[in-house]
Every structure is written in C-alpha cells, then in structure tokens.
Amino acid sequence: MLEQAHKLFFKFKILTSRQMIIVVTSIITFFFGYLYGHKIKPNRKLREAVREVREQCRAALEEGNKGVYKTLVTEDDKTSELTVEVKELAVTEAGQVKVQYLSAFYRNPEFRTKKGDALLNEVRDLLGEYLPLHEIEWYETNERHDNIKKYVNTLEKSFRKQLRA
C-alpha cells in the first residue's frame, strides 16, 4: 500500500514535503506583507499626520492674543503714524500690557529708513515693553479658536473611524 502511494505521489507530481514547506512559507509571507503594507504602515503614517496636526492646532490655540497698536511719531517737524503688531505676554493690574513686537511700519516710508529687526529695536526703545491695554486693537480670536477646536474634534472622529475600518 505504501509503495502504491509512493508511485501515485510521483505519478501526479505532488509536491514533496520540502516543497510544500516552501509554498506554505511563501503564502504566509505574502499574507503578512499584505497586512503590513495595507493596514499597519498606512495607520502609522496616519497617526503621525494626526499628531502633527494636533500639535499645530494646540500651538495656534496657545498662541495668545495679538493686536495692532497705532501712534503718531513726530521728529524734526515730520510726523508719521507708526503701526505695530504686538503679541500679549502679560497684563498688569494697572491696565498695562507687556508685549512682544512682531512687526512695525511707518505710514510715511521716508520718515525712517530702518527695516526688520533694527526697526523693531527702535520701536521697543521708543515705546517700551508695556503699552496701554485700551489702546491696542486686538484681533478677534474667539471664532478662529472655535473653528480650530471643531476641526480637531472632526479630525479625531475621522481618525478613530479610520482605525476601526
């Protein structure tokens, strides 16, 4: 009986055990390659992208108030309006705001020739670190912050839904 099976085995060219192990190993390897390539790796990239977006949104929410301060500057019978974009760092009890100067420009460009950091240093020397709270026109951030929070929540829901699929 064993001899008949052996003849039948070679007659129909059935795979040997060594060849069968190679075929099964290849099938298992292809299966795990598919899982890694289509499920695990894309989810890792998605997680990294979601984490980066969360960090950017968190930074935008913690960015603080920004506004514009305008004043007239007179020197040698020349007058120009100085417009400075500021960021709020702290508020004192006396109604003064400690600010960081982000950008500045004069309405009359011939008034001053300094630009960039030199102009910001000049403005810092001219105005000081504290400005009156009521004279700064603050940008509206409530609507922007609400939109960012909604976006993050939508992103979280989409991310969870994608992971379940």
Residue 66 has pLDDT above 80, yes or no: yes
pLDDT at 22: 85
pLDDT tens digits, residue range 106-121? 888 777 777 888 888 8
| CA distances in angstroms from 41 to 1, 9, 47, 89, 127, listed in the order given | 52, 43, 10, 42, 54
Which of 121, 59, 132 has the alpha carbon at shortest distance from 91?
A: 132
pTM above 0.75, yes or no: no
Residue 165 has pLDDT above 70, yes or no: no
Residue 6 has pLDDT above 70, yes or no: no
Domain ranges of the chain: 66-140
- Calpha distance 85→105 (Å, rounded): 9
Contact 85, 66 (CB under 8 A): yes
- Calpha distance 40→64 (Å, rounded): 38
Rounded mean pLDDT of 4-15?
61
